[in-house]
Amino acid sequence: MILFVGVVNHWVTFVAYKPDPKNLSQAKKQKVKNGENLTKLYYLDSTNLVHMDSENATVPERIMDRVREKIRLGLKVTDKWTVSVTIQSFYDVRAFMAKLVHILNTP
């Protein structure tokens, strides 16, 4: 399953790979029998945000680190509105992904 999700100022791709039970080794079949989920989840983000597991309190500072990095590289300064939208979209995407992961991991 591949989902493309558009979020205001960028896109994310969420890939869920669930192996075909017919092609599993005996050891993996036993893991499934014991209730283990073999689904692999991959998250790709056009902004390269790699801290989806950050504490809520640290998210704004991590976004500002990216803004400072852009300035250091001589790129256009990010305005306050874009920073606030980026922070909010981060929270929104994380909430969406948490719900999706829960659904995909529910037998």
Q: How many domains does the chain have?
A: 1
Highest average pLDDT, of 29-33, 83-87, 88-92, comes from 83-87
Range of the domain at 71: 2-105
Q: What does the pLDDT average to over 6-31?
A: 74
pLDDT for the residue numbered 73: 94
Strands 2-7 and 40-45, sheet pairing: unpaired
pLDDT for the residue numbered 41: 74
Using one digit for the tens of pLDDT, what is the confidence trace for 24-81?
888 888 877 777 777 777 777 666 666 666 777 888 888 898 899 999 999 998 899 9
How far from 80 is each of 16, 29, 84, CA to CA, in Å? 35, 52, 6
Q: Which residues contact 20 (CB under 8 A, 6 or more apart)?
A: none
